[in-house]
Structure 1
Amino acid sequence: MTEVFEDAIVVSNICKLYRLYDKPVDRLIEALSLFGKRRHHDFHALSDVSFTVKKGQTVGILGKNGAGKSTLLKILTGVLTPTSGDVKVSGRVASLLELGAGFNPDYTGMENIYFQGTLMGYSHAEMQLRVSAITEFADIGEFINQPVRMYSSGMFARLAFSVAINIDPDVLIVDEALSVGDAGFQLKCMLRMKYMQERGTTILFVSHDTQSVIRFCQAVIVMQAGRIIDYSADVLAATKNYEKNIRNTGSSPMGLAEELHVDVSYEKELGDISEVRFGSGEAKINAVDFLDAAGVPTNHFEPMDEVTMNCYIQSRAEFSNVVIGYSLRNAKGVDVAGDNSLLAGGEISFEEGAYKVSFSYSLNVAPGEYFLYIGMASLDGERVELDQRWPLRKMSVSGGRQAVGVAYCPSTVNVVKVA
């Protein structure tokens, strides 16, 4: 009797252990040692990981770099073998792991299409029926007949995704592969995955873009240090907890910055992004607090929330005319909102001492992650940059409904028959 699987993926207590050596020669010395002296230390990439994914379910996987996400996906796709534990995946699996995985760089794009088909168990004739759809979706023109080592990362992503979605997989595994494509292609891919969802394809989706996970997934797994610390069907709540607790974002590192007269570092909040700072330093922006409508410090908001932004300034001289301005930029570096004290009609002057300058505004932006770029200049005669911090902080906006563009202007639709 053929076994019937109700679950698409069952992972039971898997662990992945690596032996790390300080020097390559230590491996040989350990192997030849008569006394079994260890010259390595153990690294647990995965520890006791267990979860189940139902057929047709879309599950997002979140975690900082090094959390074990990619190791887990490589085990699910058979690229790696777990040190212990058991994995069951039902049906045909297509995967998009890191760029280059599974493709021969010396083969042309067309040759790699057939090569991937062979790996998936398709015959040459069966792949011929799919080639037209693959090349049309990839849309890389004459480069389809060039070796893939000549491809840009975007071209490679186009081809890899096109192959993966056109071989009718039962399970699709995507690991950040879409982050390198242009915005139009990313939208095209998301729409295609929506179609695959509707057809009952099981999808595992790894992304650092938490808003895509919120919009696209029915459940979310949160990983930290090789372990699953949360697996929830409440995607919005789990994602907010991830942003707050795992990425170490939220209020200032020492609470409200009002009590501080020294520079505050938001290094953990910014993650892999490094702040660029310049200016004379005669007056400095020491810290910025985001406050919600209740006056609680946070950097987690929803579209249309009221935000107060308190900027804490230390001036070392007198200035009769100062302008302070900010912008919120999305992950693509596009300014989506901003203002400055000059445009707002406020006149700012400083004596030597500490000041608090506040901006209040409605957060009329679509869900996403935004970076605060803020600066201050003296307009006493020739403009002098006093302090520019690019970026200083990160803000996460989630919730609301899906909308088009970067401004959040949801419409109400009313239909009236007029004839």
Structure 2
Amino acid sequence: MYCKKEIFMYENEVSIEVSSISKNYKLYNKPIERFQESLSLTGRKYHTLFSALTNVSFTVLKGETVGLLGKNGSGKSTLLKIITGVLSASSGNCTVTGKISSILELGAGFNLEYTGIENIYMNGTILGLSKKEIDQRLDGILKFADIGDFIYQPVKLYSSGMFARLAFALSINVDPDILIVDEALAVGDIKFQTKCYNKFNELRQQGVTILFVSHDISLIRNFCNRAIWLDSGEVKMIGETVEVTAEYTKFINSDHSVISDNAKTNNGLIDVKQIPTSSFEPINRWGNPSNLINYVELFNSHGESTSIINLNEKVSLKVIAYIPDGIDLKSLSIAFSIKNTLGIDLIVSTTHENNIKISINSCYIEAIFEFENYLTNGEYVINVAIENRSNAIPEYYDYIEGAKYFKSSSSKQVFGMLNIPVSQKIVYLRE
């Protein structure tokens, strides 16, 4: 497993402590029912209670970066609003130590009629800065936001990306002890997102506590020390980032029932004893039906199974799986990916992309992927999947996260994640 534990120099200091927080809303079928209830002499209730959060508890230490996971409607935004003081809890307590800077919604806290400059001074004042302190930070805010002369225009004219730029630039330049971000960066372009994540790393090194929501599992794994998974307003899991994200990914990919129960147990007439099997030690495994993949092995250039491959070596990955009756072969795909220890996809290949079709059900198939290894020194994880590609977002019949682990080795010093061949030449130019 590629879990990474970190030791914090502030490990005894608590930044955020949430104790048994619940948040309930009164829902009315008609607006007039709220008025009728307030006038009722008999105490008749016209509302129904909706629990956005139920008994949520956790602690975030100073200097931690914690990711908040959950499907839409799970209570993530409500929880962040309670932590920042935008909402009050129905019950429970939340204790925050230090100055909070947050980006909860695009444009939240901005006066749409004010210019960008005017909003900087207004929000800076709300965050406790004097005019002199804002003056000192203004150049840094403008440089990071990088929206040009639009800074002098009313923000009602801004695009969502410009909102994100200005909001983030302001939030990180007020010397926060705690930074809270709710998916606001998803609207920015790649250049801006990269600049933001680099700033995240800088803030972490300065001991700033970061709590943020993202649906990007790789991002959570890359930046977070721990993760909190909310489901229907309750804490489903808290722990090491990889463990939580693996369970969460398994959960969201197991909602689909794709073939019948009869198909799950139909092994046809194949003699299973003739099929090699692997003893998997996966980080996680999910799908419906699962356990279709029997064998995954990596082979070096000599055709020998291996867990160590060399830079620029031609290698192959063999996958053997059973394809039961009931699966739509037109949308069936065999796929593998190679991730680094941060969970970032480095190589992804699928038979769907190359339009390779499987034409027979109720049989075992062998898929062979051949490639030249451009991975630099390090440890890597192989994921293998049988996919349903009938929709834009793949669904999984069987997905093994951590089907194989290996090391890439090089006898020379190389840099970067991938050392791909690059044509080079030098041309002498006359003055």
- In the superposition, the TM-score normalised over structure 1's length comes to 0.69
Match of 1:56 in 2: 63
| Candidates 224, 232, 242, aligned match of 2:231 | 224
Question: Compared with structure 1, are the counterparts of its residues 138 and 239 closer, same or farther at alpha carbon in structure 2 (3 Å cutoff)?
Answer: same
Q: CA RMSD in A?
A: 4.5
How high is the sequence identity, in percent, across the aligned residues? 41
Match of 1:142 in 2: 149
* Structure 2 segments unaligned to the other structure (5+ residues): 1-11, 267-285, 298-315, 338-346, 415-431
Deviation, 1:155, is 1.4
**Cα deviations across residues 14-61 of structure 1 (Å, max 9, x unaligned)?**
111100011111111111112111111101111111111111111111
| Candidates 178, 198, 201, aligned match of 2:205 | 198
- Match of 1:174, SS? strand
How many angstroms apart in 2 are the aligned matches of 1:393 and 1:185?
A: 31
Match of 2:49 in 1: 42
**Cα deviations across residues 346-372 of structure 1 (Å, max 9, x unaligned)?**
8x878xx98887645479999999999
Tell me whether 1:100 sits opposite 2:112 in the alignment. Answer: no
Tell me whether 1:85 sits opposite 2:92 in the alignment. Answer: yes
Match of 1:169 in 2: 176
| Candidates 239, 243, 248, aligned match of 1:237 | 243
Deviation, 1:339, is 3.8
How many angstroms apart in 1 are the aligned matches of 2:244 and 2:82?
A: 24
Deviation, 1:102, is 1.3
Report the residue type matching 1:171 in the other structure.
I
**Cα deviations across residues 87-133 of structure 1 (Å, max 9, x unaligned)?**
11111110011212111111111111111101101111110111111
Tell me whether 1:123 sits opposite 2:135 in the alignment. Answer: no
**Cα deviations across residues 357-404 of structure 1 (Å, max 9, x unaligned)?**
7645479999999999978xxxxxxxxxxxx65444267968999xxx
Deviation, 1:414, is 3.9
Deviation, 1:76, is 0.7
How many angstroms apart in 1 are the aligned matches of 2:32 and 2:108?
A: 29
**Cα deviations across residues 172-225 of structure 1 (Å, max 9, x unaligned)?**
001111111112211111111001000100111211111111111111111111
Question: Compared with structure 1, are the counterparts of its residues 354 and 294 closer, same or farther at alpha carbon in structure 2 (3 Å cutoff)?
Answer: closer
* Structure 1 segments unaligned to the other structure (5+ residues): 261-268, 271-286, 296-303, 317-321, 330-334, 376-387, 402-407
How many angstroms apart in 2 are the aligned matches of 1:239 and 1:80?
A: 28
User: Residues 61 and 222 of structure 1 are in contact (CA less than 8 Å); yes or no, is this contact kept in structure 2?
Assistant: yes
How many angstroms apart in 2 are the aligned matches of 1:159 and 1:393?
A: 37
How many angstroms apart in 1 are the aligned matches of 2:101 and 2:186?
A: 18
How many angstroms apart in 1 are the aligned matches of 2:253 and 2:388?
A: 22
Report the residue type matching 1:187 in the other structure.
T
Question: Compared with structure 1, are the counterparts of its residues 341 and 212 closer, same or farther at alpha carbon in structure 2 (3 Å cutoff)?
Answer: closer
**Cα deviations across residues 225-257 of structure 1 (Å, max 9, x unaligned)?**
11112221x211121111113553699565795
Question: Compared with structure 1, are the counterparts of its residues 367 and 315 closer, same or farther at alpha carbon in structure 2 (3 Å cutoff)?
Answer: closer
User: Residues 17 and 44 of structure 1 are in contact (CA less than 8 Å); yes or no, is this contact kept in structure 2?
Assistant: yes
Once the two structures are overlaid, the 10-residue window that deviates more, 363-372 or 101-110, is 363-372
Report the residue type matching 1:145 in the other structure.
Y
- In the superposition, the TM-score normalised over structure 2's length comes to 0.67
How many angstroms apart in 1 are the aligned matches of 2:110 and 2:383?
A: 33
| Candidates 327, 349, 363, aligned match of 1:337 | 349
Match of 1:154 in 2: 161
Report the residue type matching 1:337 in the other structure.
S
Report the residue type matching 2:212 in the other structure.
F
Report the residue type matching 2:47 in the other structure.
H
Question: Compared with structure 1, are the counterparts of its residues 145 and 6 closer, same or farther at alpha carbon in structure 2 (3 Å cutoff)?
Answer: same
Q: 1:320-331 to 2 correspondence within 5 Å? A: none
Question: Compared with structure 1, are the counterparts of its residues 149 and 306 closer, same or farther at alpha carbon in structure 2 (3 Å cutoff)?
Answer: farther
- Match of 1:67, SS? coil
- Match of 2:89, SS? coil
Report the residue type matching 2:122 in the other structure.
F
User: Residues 178 and 186 of structure 1 are in contact (CA less than 8 Å); yes or no, is this contact kept in structure 2?
Assistant: yes
Once the two structures are overlaid, the 10-residue window that deviates more, 241-250 or 359-368, is 359-368
Q: 1:234-383 to 2 correspondence within 5 Å? A: 234-245=240-251, 248=254, 252=258, 291=293, 293=295, 307=319, 337-339=349-351, 359-361=367-369
Deviation, 1:291, is 2.9
- Match of 1:293, SS? strand
User: Residues 227 and 238 of structure 2 are in contact (CA less than 8 Å); yes or no, is this contact kept in structure 1?
Assistant: yes
| Candidates 175, 179, 189, aligned match of 1:182 | 189
**Cα deviations across residues 320-360 of structure 1 (Å, max 9, x unaligned)?**
xx99878899xxxxx9534469876x8x878xx98887645
Once the two structures are overlaid, the 10-residue window that deviates more, 181-190 or 363-372, is 363-372
Q: 1:383-394 to 2 correspondence within 5 Å? A: 389-393=391-395
